[in-house]
A and B are shown apart, each in its own frame.
Chain A
């Protein structure tokens, strides 16, 4: 390799543009990644990071723009061309065949001939080499489904290296890892960099960017807004670049008047489908007339906590009490009857049936309520009238209960959910990511409603990855990290304090 070639950047993206229908996912992106560096790309959910990387890996075609690898323009038509251009990708959701061995997964697509036998021998040898060179230790004969998540990720990295990748893209690699596993990953990435590989790390976690990258680029709403040397920037600057100079959210609210505890969580532990502990021995109370916010980086157990309280996930152990009555493992319908309302994090898959008409969604979960019919029958007139009232009160547009829910904008969809859950006058309200993908006007409206609920003496539990939102709304803030509540703060605690706690650095 000539010295001259070495100086050329590993990747140059010039004017990359991509639309999905009405969504402008990438706007005129320019990016240069130096050879032998770890380059972070940071941005909020939906900022366009994954789309950009999918274009680089040949999953999508850019509408416009050019990709240059080591200075030479390359047309990446599919994953095959990306692989031959020396690009490897570790996807957020692992692309592994679960009932295959590590070896089989590594070989898939790079078998070295029609028959497997010769390939198996050389793959074994190559894996051994990769293991000694980079410290990527995985038993080649282990079945994927029997490996812990961290090892599965190492298999993904091995797959890329086995195909001769010089450039490795990792999409939110630590989302599923424990802190110890994440540290292990970072050590591997450093070794890879020191051996001359180029690494692109996509994440929305500031801690990781600061800990490991050499350079960082920030994306916001489909645009590349800045690139900095990591040493020369700060968490604060990056955070500001990520969210933009957004109008500071100020919610008018008076002092809280907390009453008796309505919702209590005691030593709650929740595991996911794989048996990984997502919520680890968590205890807290939510009193009448207060908003308790749960802050944390996405994937630290907040979602699972919320779903367990809402009856969607079965707790592994511990208690959930409503008014002192144990309700752990009780189904959502009974919880609603006890006065627990739930604005779920994911309105598309949980809060709404997008193919339903608006009025049909206005009763989801409350469809057995006597006011919506007699006996087993639904009273559509009553439901539509009710829906129209909510539409008027919440200014849902267009004001048409017969319109398919999928045809409403994000903010209006969210208002449909909020109206349904709040207008039932519940005693307790669970709120997950209330303003994700919602326009500014609707954000203010929804925030006001949540505060009104508090002032009416309801117990509100708020989960959000938007720290601003948590600070603006909450009376008390619990910070979650790696499944545990690592501390409690008042909303006037500094952003930096909370940020450090969310990163698991200080309690």
Chain B
């Protein structure tokens, strides 16, 4: 039973650690399926976390915080679009630039406004997304097997967690069941086909970036005002890149994205759990292995050793009409 409890608590932290990855990877999914590489996920996440924390602190309202996070994230997406769609600039350079701007600006503004070394002040209670106890969680607690699972993994999460898991089927539905999704997938494969069908490639790609910004805003808000209660310097800590890895690992498909994020989240949780513990036969497993594992797995996948990861064909290439 002891082992089971560990398992359940690990599952709980896996979920918690996966949520920002799911939002961010889904954001990347919309952008990259439309043919725009999005290295700037990390920056969008960071900027939206900062905005969410600031506004939640100032207004005392978590939802306004979330809205601000989404707004800033979309703004970053639009700048990315201006550079890489309108001006046909290099998408990777633009993403790298935005990551720097976000990393710097959050600290500079944070320090200027709050003078706490780049942190924002603690968000007051009620201004963050608190855990929701589902009905019957307390009563179920002692039911064997299902009880702990229900009360610790399924119940007791904040609203954004549930939204994240809702976003997965929703993204799938948008991508595969709506006109917008059909066009979005088409523009990432062959923008010429979209253009000759009388659809604006530019506007379509901008819309994809807006959706990506929208989703990424959730991940930042989750970091700042759900998982924690303040913005901390460099709080995304490379999660944007892990999400990017998860997106590739999932071969740019929504449901696999969720599983890849859960896998990478689990690796993170497992690493935390294993810290300082001895494994039989092996001894202490260095935590760095788990930290590197998502990236190693992604590289192995990219190398085509486990299946083929075929990125959207038109990815990274600005669209110009043929002459």
Q: Give the interface of A toward B (CB within 8 A).
A: 20, 57, 59, 78-83, 89, 91, 93, 95-100, 104-105, 107-111, 113-117, 119, 159
Contacts and interface: CB of A to CB of B under 8 A. Distances in A.
B192 interface: yes
Nearest to B192: A95
Interface stretch (B51-59, B112-120, B182-190): B182-190
A98 B196 contact: no
Nearest to B199: A109
Interface in B227-247: none
Contact of A108 (B176, B194, B321): B194
Contacts of A115: 177-179
Contacts of A159: 197
A111 B179 contact: yes
A107 B190 contact: no
Interface of B is mostly: helix
Contacts of B199: 80, 108-109
B182 A116 contact: yes
A110 B181 CA distance: 14
B177 A117 contact: yes
A114 B180 contact: yes
A91 B181 CA distance: 24
Interface in B46-81: none
A115 B193 CA distance: 20
B178 A116 contact: yes
A97 B179 contact: no
B196 A91 contact: yes
Given A93-B322, A100-B189, A114-B179, 6 more contacts: A59-B321, A98-B190, A108-B186, A108-B194, A116-B181, A116-B182
B135 interface: no
A110 B179 CA distance: 9
B190 A95 contact: yes
B197 A79 contact: yes
Interface residues of B, number: 24
Interface of B: 176-183, 185-186, 189-190, 192-199, 313, 321-323
B193 A105 contact: yes
A111 B185 CA distance: 14
B195 A79 contact: yes
Given A80-B198, A100-B185, A100-B186, A95 B179 contact: no
A116 B173 CA distance: 10
A79 B207 CA distance: 20
A98 B313 contact: yes
A111 B199 CA distance: 12
Contacts of B197: 79, 83, 95, 108-110, 159
Contacts of B190: 95-98
A96 B197 CA distance: 10
B198 to A, nearest CB: 3
B178 A109 contact: no
Contact of B182 (A79, A83, A93, A111): A111
Nearest to A20: B323
B180 A79 contact: no
Contacts of A91: 192, 196
B198 A78 contact: yes
A104 B177 CA distance: 11
B194 A109 contact: yes
Nearest to A81: B198
A109 B198 contact: yes
Nearest to B322: A93
Contacts of B198: 78-83, 109
Contact of A97 (B180, B181, B193, B322): B193
22 contacts: A79-B195, A79-B196, A79-B197, A80-B198, A80-B199, A81-B198, A89-B196, A93-B192, A95-B193, A95-B196, A95-B197, A97-B186, A100-B186, A100-B189, A105-B193, A108-B182, A108-B186, A108-B194, A110-B197, A116-B177, A116-B181, A116-B182
B190 to A, nearest CB: 5
A164 B178 CA distance: 22
B185 A97 contact: yes
Nearest to A111: B179
Q: Taking each of B183, B189, B194, B197, which has the highest tally of chain A beta carbons within 10 Å of its own beta carbon?
A: B197
Given A89-B196, A95-B196, A98-B189, A108 B180 contact: no
Contacts of A108: 182-183, 186, 193-194, 197, 199
B186 A113 contact: no
Contacts of B321: 59
B204 to A, nearest CB: 11
Contacts of A79: 195-198
Contact of A114 (B178, B189, B194, B322): B178
B173 to A, nearest CB: 9
Contacts of B183: 108-109
B178 to A, nearest CB: 6
Contacts of A83: 197-198
Contacts of A117: 177
Nearest to B314: A97
Contacts of A81: 198
B182 A107 contact: yes
A59 B323 CA distance: 9
Nearest to B196: A95
B120 to A, nearest CB: 40
A110 B196 CA distance: 12
Contacts of A105: 193
Ordered nearest first, which 10 A-B pairs have the shortest CB separation? A109-B197, A80-B198, A111-B179, A95-B193, A79-B198, A95-B196, A97-B189, A97-B186, A95-B192, A83-B198
Contacts of B177: 115-117
